[in-house]
């Protein structure tokens, strides 16, 4: 399957100046996309929550009353989970919540992400942010909204830092609708899925294509060639 991605130039208005064709040789894997998202959430957890079992609560070493002849229920410790201020049964303990993914699984997950979100990509020829001012980036986003409709959340992507990108990062920090500013080789599922649109420069698109799309396409071709030989 082939997708056409238009390259736009922003001046006083947005005009398409070029296009890039991207081929996807396999369907997206929803399973790996979901796994990568769960991995992000799990790896963010500190896992430091802790409760005390009955043996860890201070006190309760002495039997509160004799076993028999008191008319009361038998108890061996005032720190039993049945008692107020007693220990906790099956309470949480510190643990490592992190999940690991193989390199090929991660590549497939991000390939699937690009396949899913490519229609929401807005690719600019270049970032031309000459000065570090919020209103410059705000006016750029307003121009984009005129053509692409209302945007609630946007992710901005860059391939490599130069002075224009430095100005962009500093200027966009204070704009509420800008969810994240990411480097193209460091994308993640959560941020891109939650964004209405993803704004990037042409270099970023080529980096995504090379790192994820071409990698999976090459694997598919190798598998097909091996099947033919067999």
Domain span at 61: 46-96
Report pLDDT digits (tens) over 78-90. 999 999 999 999 9
Same domain, 145 and 33: yes
Same domain, 90 and 107: no
Q: Report residues of the chain scoring pLDDT below 70.
A: none
Report pLDDT digits (tens) over 209-224. 999 999 999 999 999 9
Same domain, 20 and 61: no
Same domain, 35 and 147: yes
Same domain, 217 and 196: yes
Same domain, 79 and 188: no
Cβ distance 40 to 114 under 8 Å?
Answer: no
Q: Count up the domains in the chain and report the number.
A: 2
> What pTM was computed for the model?
0.86
Would you state the pLDDT for residue 128?
87
Same domain, 135 and 29: yes
Strand partners, 181: 156
Would you state the pLDDT for residue 13?
84
């Amino acid at each position: 399957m082939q997708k056409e991605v238009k390259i736009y130039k922003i001046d006083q208005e947005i005009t398409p100046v070029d296009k890039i064709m991207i081929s996807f040789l396999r369907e997206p894997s929803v399973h790996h996309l979901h796994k990568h998202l769960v991995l992000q959430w799990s790896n963010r957890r500190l896992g430091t929550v802790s409760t005390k079992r009955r043996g860890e609560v201070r006190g309760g070493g002495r039997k509160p009353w004799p076993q028999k002849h008191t008319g009361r229920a038998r108890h061996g410790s005032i720190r039993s989970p049945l008692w107020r201020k007693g220990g906790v049964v099956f309470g949480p303990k510190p643990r490592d919540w992190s999940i690991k993914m193989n390199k090929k699984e991660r590549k497939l997950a991000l390939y699937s992400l690009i396949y899913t979100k490519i229609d929401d990509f807005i690719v600019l020829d270049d970032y031309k942010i000459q000065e570090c001012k919020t209103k410059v980036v705000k006016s750029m986003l307003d121009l984009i909204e005129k053509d692409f409709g209302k945007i609630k959340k946007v992710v901005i992507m860059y391939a490599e830092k130069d002075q224009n990108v430095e100005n962009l990062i500093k200027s966009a920090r204070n704009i509420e609708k800008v969810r994240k500013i990411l480097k193209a080789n460091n994308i993640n599922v959560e941020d891109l899925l939650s964004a209405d649109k993803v704004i990037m420069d042409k270099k970023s698109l080529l980096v995504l294509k090379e790192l994820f799309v071409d990698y999976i396409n090459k694997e598919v071709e190798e598998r097909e060639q091996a099947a033919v030989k067999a």
